[in-house]
Amino acid sequence: MKKFIHEDFLLETDYAKELYHDYAKGQPIIDYHSHLPPNELAENKNFENVTKIWIEGDHYKWRAMRALGVPEKYITGKATDAEKFQKWAQTVPYTLRNPLYHWTHLELNRYFGIDELLTPDSAEGIYEQCNIALKKPTFSTQNLVGRMNVEVVCTTDDPLDDLAHHIKLAKSDCPVKVFPTFRPDGLIDIEKVDFSDYISTLSKITGVTITDLASLGEATKKRVDFFHENGCRLSDHGLTHAYGYAYDESEINQILSKRFDEKSISKKEALQYKSAILHLLGQLYAEKNWVMQLHLGPIRDTNKAILAKIGINAGVDSIGDYPQAEQLASFLNRLNNSGSLPKTILYNSNPSDNEVFATMAGNFTGEDIKSKVQFGTAWWFLDQKDGIKDQLDTVSNMGLLSCSVGMLTDSRSFLSFPRHEYYRRVLCNILGNDLKAGLLPHDMKWIGKIVQDITYNNAKEFFQFPSLVENLSLKK
């Protein structure tokens, strides 16, 4: 019987096979957005067992197990790691046509050389085989990433972070360049109960007394400078929608004063503040030639009962149906009018926004920059075969697919890098089908170049990461 994961997996035509094997497969990976813990990379950690590295923290798997009715004890509860793995193995056969089925078997094969399907009957043997491998030095975190031909990993980091792990990594023999990403949720979420405490900590770290928007901007700039000195070239924002509301500085100062006095603010005032701080941040990013990422649209933490048991990132988020176009246009236009629109990537969680985001990206361009504002790759609930195809089709129809910066993992798992392979196979299959149908000319050299641009070259040019970690001006 033919192996399920074989060399031509997902490739339906000879054209697709040629594009993948000759042009895409060997490309290095620039994983410009992930949630890998930098401390586990810096420690070059070996995981105790496959449950720890593969199931713990993976809310994709948790959601599938819950959908099957698996008790929470075996998901995030006090069951043993072996029991949790067994329950995942019982779940996998029921994930047919869910991307988890493909990802599961790609990951077992690419990291552990396992061709066998994961089922209740095979679970014990696979668990033991993986655990034996994970004890080897070659299965440490740095080596797991390096073996997937990863050139760059960008983690997601709070502006208050001292970046000690990144500094350690930059001075180490880590085979992969690891850079921080500036994620200023704490600066933006003015309604949160700990907002004043967050700003107080920012003030202490920077030595800036923060009383108004100007001093907040001064302190924030110090953190942007610090991140930049340590290799950061991207920011990231997880928002329901962009903020482009009208405001003036005196209004924002009054809003901040009320908030520092622990007084309540209105919904309108919160939106005005968020518009102001997001604009300020965009200006700082543009000064540094950073890329601003906007992840827009999910509704988070919907199941309060599970949230109370587990905490954030519990796997109870979904696609939201927020209006996007008007505020996004206003936000981008305000930055563009002031000459401070940074390179930007727009990600949507709602597939009905595909065309909105793709056409919005095309409204804002820059000379000598390919697709200065990008419609980003399929994200979160959409990063499966159909969702990837829909995103590729939309960016092809509404913009220039050839300028895309390609895939990312957006993952907390050290076993998630085959998602880049998955994306590359889907991309090559689409182009291969077009070639077979006569929709593209039979110019494999040129189309192969486009594939290599999408899978590596465009990202390398767009992000402009420091060429060598050793040459960074590292400051603490």
pLDDT confidence of residue 467: 63
pLDDT confidence of residue 474: 43
Picking from 463, 370, 476, 473, the residue whose alpha carbon sits closest to that of residue 153 is: 463
pLDDT confidence of residue 329: 98
Task: In whole angstroms, give the CA distance from residue 215 to residue 208.
Answer: 7
Contact yes or no for 239/347 (Cβ under 8 A): no
Q: Over its length of 476 residues, how does the chain's per-residue pLDDT go in tens digits?
A: 689 999 999 999 999 999 999 999 999 999 999 999 999 999 999 999 999 999 999 999 999 999 999 999 999 999 999 999 999 999 999 999 999 999 999 999 999 999 999 999 999 999 999 999 999 999 999 999 999 999 999 999 999 999 999 999 999 999 999 999 999 999 999 999 999 999 999 999 999 999 999 999 999 999 999 999 999 999 999 999 999 999 999 999 999 999 999 999 999 999 999 999 999 999 999 999 999 999 999 999 999 998 888 887 888 899 999 999 999 999 999 999 999 999 999 999 999 999 999 999 999 999 999 999 999 999 999 999 999 999 999 999 999 999 999 999 999 999 999 999 999 999 999 999 999 999 999 999 999 999 999 999 999 999 999 964 344 444 44
Residue with tokens 């193995």: 89
pLDDT confidence of residue 1: 65
pTM: 0.96
pLDDT confidence of residue 311: 84
Picking from 436, 475, 39, the residue whose alpha carbon sits closest to that of residue 225 is: 475
DSSP assignment, residue 364?
-
Q: For the purposes of burial, counting CB atoms within 10 Å of the CB of 267, is it exposed (0-12), middle (13-18) or buried (19 or more)?
A: exposed
Picking from 204, 211, 209, 216, the residue whose alpha carbon sits closest to that of residue 160 is: 204
In 99-184, which residue ranges form alpha helices assigned H by DSSP?
99-112, 123-134, 141-146, 164-170
Residue with tokens 């109960």: 193
Who's near 288: CB < 8 A, 6+ residues apart?
Answer: 224, 228, 233
pLDDT confidence of residue 472: 42
Task: In whole angstroms, give the CA distance from residue 186 to residue 200.
Answer: 11
